[in-house]
Amino acid sequence: MLTVTNLIKELNSGSVTVTAVNDISFEIPEGKFAAIIGKSGSGKSTLLGLLGALDKPTSGAILVDGDDITKLSDRDLIKYRRDRIGFVFQAYNLVPNLTALENVMLPMEFASVGRAQRKARAVELLEQVGISAAEQTRKPSRLSGGQQQRVAIARALANRPKLILADEPTGNLDSATGKLIVNLLHELARSRKTTIVAVTHDLEIARQTDLTFQLADGKLAGQGSHHAAAAKPDRPAEPVKVRS
C-alpha cells in the first residue's frame, strides 16, 4: 500500500520558489498499476522522484507499507531504494559499459547477493522479459530501445521490490513496442503483486492502468480507476474519469 498525504515540494531557483508538487494526497493499493498523467511541467516526474526517495519533500508524508519514507535516515533511504523499489526510466539509463546481464546483476551486488545467485536470478529475469541468452551478453548500445527497456525492467525487479516506479517507460519507444512494455508491466503487477506507478503523458497507456492520477500545475487535478485493464491488458481501458 502506497499512501501519499499532503505532499509538497518546493523548488528554489535563485530568488524564485516554485511549488512543483502542491499538497497532493492519494492512495494506491498493493498490486495495482497506477498512472500519473499530466502536461510537461505539471510535476509528474518530481512526484515520482519523491515516491522513489530520490528527493526529499518540503512537507507531507509518503507511507510505503506503513513506513514514512520522508523520515528515513540517509542510510535507510539507500536500503529503501535498493530493496523496496525498482526504477524504470524513459531513457533506460543502463550503465553503458556493462552487458545486459551485468546491468541486471548490479542492484543485487549492492544488496550483497552472492555472485552465482545474482547471475542465476538475472538470467531468469532477462528470460522473463524476453531477452535471449545472446542478447544478455550485449552492451546496451547493441540493443534496440525496446530491448533496453526490457533490460531496465528486469533490473528494476532484481531485488524483488514491492513497488516499481516508471518514468515515461514508453516515451522513447514506438507504439507497438510501447504496448508490449505496458503489457509486461501489467503482467508483473498481476503475477507478482507488485505495485506499479508509471508517469506518462500517453492517455492510451493511462487507459490500460488500474488507477489514473492527473496532475496540473503541481496539483492533483483528478483521479480515476479502471478494472478491466488489469485483467486483460491488451484490451483498451475505459476512458479516464477524472474526479477532482
Partner 1 sequence: MSTVSRGVRNAFRNTIRSGGVTIILALSVGLALVMLLSLKTVQARIASVKANLGNTISISPSGFSNFSDANNALTTAQLDKVKSLPHITKLVESLQDRLPTTGSPSFGKLGGDSSSGATTSLTSPVKLKTGGNGGGSGAGGPRVFIRGGGQLPANFTPPVSILGTTDPTSLNGQPITIKSGSTIDGSKDTGQALVSTDMATKNNLKVGSTFQAYNATITVAGIFDNGTNLGQGDTVIFALPTVQRLSGQAGDVTSAIATVDTVDNLASATTAVQNTLGTDNADVQNAQQQITQAAQPLENIKTVSLYSLIGALVTGSIIIFLTMLMIVRERRREIGVLKAIGASNAKIASQFVAEALTLTLSGAVVGVIGGLLLSNPVLRLLVQGSATADAGQVGKFGGGASRGFTRLIGAGGQSLQSLHTVVGYDVLLYGLGAALLIAILGSAVPAFLIAKVRPAEVMRGE
CB of 26 to partner 1, least distance (A): 20
Q: Does 90 bind partner 1 (CB under 8 A)?
A: yes
CB of 87 to partner 1, least distance (A): 5
**What part of residues 163-192 is at the interface with partner 1 (CB under 8 A)?**
167-168
Closest CA to 27 of 56, 57, 7, 53: 7
Closest CA to 229 of 163, 192, 177, 179: 179
Q: Does 202 bind partner 1 (CB under 8 A)?
A: no
* Residue 112 three-state SS: coil
Q: Does 111 bind partner 1 (CB under 8 A)?
A: yes
CA atoms within 13 A on the CB side of 188: 30
Q: Which three cell numbers stand for residue 59?
A: 512537507
Measured from the CB atom, the residue of 167 and 210 that comes closer to partner 1 is 167
Percentages helix, strand, coil for the chain (3-state, rounded to 5) are 40, 30, 35
CB of 159 to partner 1, least distance (A): 7
For residues 45 to 84, the per-residue mask of contacts with partner 1, x marking binding by CB under 8 A and - elsewhere, is xx-xx--xxxx----------------------xx-xxx-
Closest CA to 126 of 83, 134, 190: 134
Residues forming contacts to partner 1 in the complex (CB under 8 A) are 45-46, 48-49, 52-55, 78-79, 81-83, 86-87, 89-91, 93, 95-98, 102, 105-107, 109-111, 155-156, 159, 167-168
